[in-house]
Amino acid sequence: AHRTYSVERNPVGMKMIVEDGRTFRFCENGGVAAVSAMLFQSLVPVAATKGEAVANGIVAGATSLTAVISTGATQAEDLYNRGYVMVVEAAQLDPVHLILKSGEFPSSGSTGATLELESPLVDGIGDSEVVTYVQNPYRNVIIHPAPPTALIVGVVVRAIPLDEYGWLATSGPTKVLTDGTILIGESVSASLTTDGSMSAWIPDLATTVNYLPTGNIVSVGASTASSVVWLKYID
């Protein structure tokens, strides 16, 4: 868990559980050079992948979605590998599908891209149905801005260069940047004021979004320094 890689050595999002029960997720760093002990989040999904057109007449049992559109945004091949796609349908028969391989999305036109799925469609895709697809939350992770704007994914355990790969701690004891007054045993959550940091979780805070806790304090460090946090609620 304390190594970095220049290539996607493991599938992004792969979960590792070590002997003492700590868990880690393999990630790609998509923001700035990742600093150890900072809290990270996924990218905010782009509007160009929500409710998008797909080829009509794709039958139940198919494992490829063709002519998938990305409205107004060119997106690179493989960007959605290990991501997820949902068919927007009234019957709600299909689950969320894992994307094994994604093609390149042109910014305009009707050609679209192909998404190869891990599991077959339960229901065929009708003329008026569309799809919504998202990247794997562990691809192109960024330091959480305060307050966070997307899914909290974990804490970097070793500095990861930009566009390279490494591991995020997601449960168990880990070193995390903290700010403000915190107490041993207290619940903490993503900081509302300091990027990449955790602070005391205040469940009755009425002036902002009530973010979920991320863990509990084991050992307290000085404000704006690192504390030991037992991560519980991220993964």
The pLDDT tens digits for 121-133 are 998 888 888 999 9
**What is the total count of domains within the chain?**
2
What is the per-residue burial (b if ≥16 Cβ within 10 Å, else e) of 159-189?
A: ebeeebbbbbbbbbbbbbbbbeebeeeebbb
- Same domain, yes or no: 39 and 146: yes
Helix (H, G, I), strand (E, B) or coil at 217: strand
- Same domain, yes or no: 120 and 50: yes
- Band (pLDDT 50/70/90 cuts) for residue 205 is low
Alpha-carbon gap, residue 168 to 157, rounded angstroms: 6
Residue 210 predicted with pLDDT over 60: no
Residue 207 predicted with pLDDT over 80: no
- Same domain, yes or no: 86 and 170: no
Asked if residue 147 has a cis previous peptide bond (ω within 30° of 0), the answer is yes
Has residue 28 been placed in a domain? yes
Has residue 5 been placed in a domain? no
pLDDT on residue 230: 97
Location of structure tokens 């790609």: 28
Burial class (CB in 10 A: 0-12, 13-18, 19+), 116: middle
Q: Where residue 192 sits, what CATH number does that domain have?
A: 2.40.300
Q: Which of 133, 163, 186 is the last residue of a domain?
A: 133
- Same domain, yes or no: 91 and 120: yes
> pLDDT of 131-174, one tens digit each?
999 999 999 999 999 988 999 999 999 999 999 999 999 999 99
Q: Which domain holds residue 55?
A: 46-133
- Same domain, yes or no: 39 and 144: yes
Note whether 83 and 135 are within 8 A (CB). Answer: yes
pTM for this predicted structure:
0.90
- Same domain, yes or no: 80 and 117: yes
- Same domain, yes or no: 96 and 118: yes
Determine the Cα angle at 34 with ends 105 and 3, to 5°. Answer: 95
pLDDT on residue 155: 97
When pLDDT is averaged across residues 1-17 and rounded to a whole number, the result is 93
CA distances from 146 to 88, 122, 185, 189 (A): 32, 40, 23, 11
Q: Are strands 97-102 and 15-17 parallel, antiparallel or unpaired?
A: unpaired
pLDDT on residue 24: 97
Q: Which of 85, 108, 133 is the last residue of a domain?
A: 133
- Same domain, yes or no: 25 and 60: no
